[in-house]
Structure 1
């Protein structure tokens, strides 16, 4: 019995030593950033921007792997269960702090099963309609929506995402009943919005900005507390007569919980330098994003605060999903 115990102890110590050596030699192979949405959306765009800058710094390939589904929780689940060795990362977002309360059962705990690295950027959400929509402003849109229940539809990046939450709040405040149409991501949503399959969306600025500039989509209001630098002439919802909504979407990198502190610290240091570099800042400005680059503990605090905030909003709105 005692001999078996010591054998087990030695095995554990050897495994720990092996893991430490691997961490010290990190990175020795390709690093994967899992994006829980399809290609073309803001999460994907930011992940690829980061990967392109991070790869030469680390001296190893950094690739993006799109794993869409279940309101961004499928990709998160895969990363939560991945080895905590620094080779599998998640481009997470505000959606994950919402999902924690929206879904009855999740195979992970966003606060306990992930190690925050840094917030890459914050992107305002914007209420947009097809250019053929007769609504010239938010109040016009509310009037049309209230003329008949579910007369209008709004698309989101999936159940339990920020767009879903904003749409729900918008209806509660205005009294309009608008049909929710969930998509797997921004790319298919934007395609249907342009073609008129859905009437409106509360998506992030990045995927719709080119079509706003082309005149194919019309922005009515941003959902943040202040105006977007990318759309300075577009009012906030507060200014447009719909108070009580101040939600933007943050995006950041996380690793599985238990990832060696040395790896997290290295990633944070390299990423902050990238995010704060002039060329990356310009790249973010061009797509309507505001670069951040904070410390892991600051990102962890933001996640904790927003999880609590959205839990209250979700409880009040009585939103639950299986």
Structure 2
């Protein structure tokens, strides 16, 4: 009987030790640098936002948050790298609208974002701006629509890849305006803007942080902002709804941080607290707003709910709007 009691006692001690280990480990987190993977190339809204937010999160966490770009493949390879990473909080994903929209654009996905990723924090929402090369003979969004209708399929529009804000917003604009144009996907926001400036493509619904330097320098002409109201960053540019005569047209993107599924909740909470602290910093708020982003924040559940709503919204839109689907 005594032997049984000793064995039982040892088992209880072992169980308590293993149960306590994750909690103790989470309390020590982070003890080394954290990778923040951006599934796009440099120059796009996700990359710009990541590089603005990372230093403030580093300060809050006491460890460096290193931005790592993994562009290409409509953000899928970079996202998959996070899905397959150890759920220890040291590999995170900073992504955007494509995460919710890709299931309607690709017949097969290597992961289920709703199940395979854990939400950490919604960072910001951001509208796009319809921009063209100044050499294109249009003075307004209505002129662009008229040109497209006069020559169906002759114009093309660029994007940072399938599922990017550029792609989705342009597809919705084309459907709302009743025009046809060819989609030219790139591997990132920087590359598409380079070709728009060079005159290789006709128009882009560029996210504001990417578009602003080009518009301010006169290298591109802004015809309309895609959000429900004018942007403080471009107060003289009308909304697309106003400029193109499309009442009710309003779309915008978002940026958020996710972790691999099964990341311990104490670790998620620490990461969320760091993001929340960063988003309360006046310096960061000013930088984000100057580029047209609207800082958000909130609990992980807020991003989880927002992501679910976005996924459902794009699924419903796919039944009404013809999105070009990749194989």
2:95 counterpart (92, 97, 107): 92
1:272 counterpart (269, 276, 291): 276
Question: Given the two structures, how large is their TM-score scaled by the length of structure 1?
Answer: 0.92
- Residue of structure 2 in register with 1:297 after alignment: 301
Q: What pairs up with 1:36-47 in 2 under 5 angstroms?
A: 36-47=39-50
Q: CA deviation at 1:242?
A: 2.1
Q: CA deviation at 1:254?
A: 0.9
- Residue of structure 2 in register with 1:76 after alignment: 79
Q: Does the aligned pair in 2 maintain the 1:166–1:245 contact within 8 Å?
A: no
- Residue of structure 2 in register with 1:150 after alignment: 153
Q: CA deviation at 1:14?
A: 7.6
Stretches (4+) displaced over 3 A: 10-21
Q: Deviations over 1:122-162 (max 9, x none)?
A: 11101000111111101101111112122211101111222
- Residue of structure 2 in register with 1:282 after alignment: 286
Q: Does the aligned pair in 2 maintain the 1:103–1:160 contact within 8 Å?
A: no
- Residue of structure 1 in register with 2:326 after alignment: 321
Gap regions ≥5 residues in structure 2: 1-12
2:139 counterpart (124, 136, 141): 136
- Residue of structure 2 in register with 1:208 after alignment: 211
Paired residue secondary structure (2:229): coil
Paired residue secondary structure (2:230): coil
Q: Deviations over 1:73-125 (max 9, x none)?
A: 22111111111100000002111111122211111111111111111111110
- Residue of structure 1 in register with 2:259 after alignment: 255
- Residue of structure 2 in register with 1:3 after alignment: none
Matched residues in 1 for 2:284 and 2:17: separation? 42
| 1:242 lines up with 2:246 in the alignment | yes
Q: CA deviation at 1:243?
A: 3.4
Residues 11 and 152 of structure 1, relative CA distance in 2, 3 Å threshold: farther
Paired residue secondary structure (2:242): coil
| 1:123 lines up with 2:121 in the alignment | no
Q: Does the aligned pair in 1 maintain the 2:60–2:277 contact within 8 Å?
A: no
Size of the aligned set, in residue pairs, is 315
Paired residue secondary structure (1:238): helix
Matched residues in 2 for 1:222 and 1:12: separation? 58
Q: Does the aligned pair in 1 maintain the 2:175–2:322 contact within 8 Å?
A: no
Paired residue secondary structure (1:127): strand
Question: Given the two structures, how large is their TM-score scaled by the length of structure 2?
Answer: 0.91
Q: Does the aligned pair in 2 maintain the 1:98–1:162 contact within 8 Å?
A: no
Paired residue secondary structure (1:297): helix
Q: CA deviation at 1:310?
A: 0.3
Q: CA deviation at 1:317?
A: 2.7
Q: CA deviation at 1:316?
A: 2.4
- Residue of structure 1 in register with 2:7 after alignment: none
Q: CA deviation at 1:210?
A: 0.7
Deviates more, 1:168-177 or 1:39-48: 168-177
Paired residue secondary structure (1:78): helix
Matched residues in 1 for 2:16 and 2:194: separation? 54
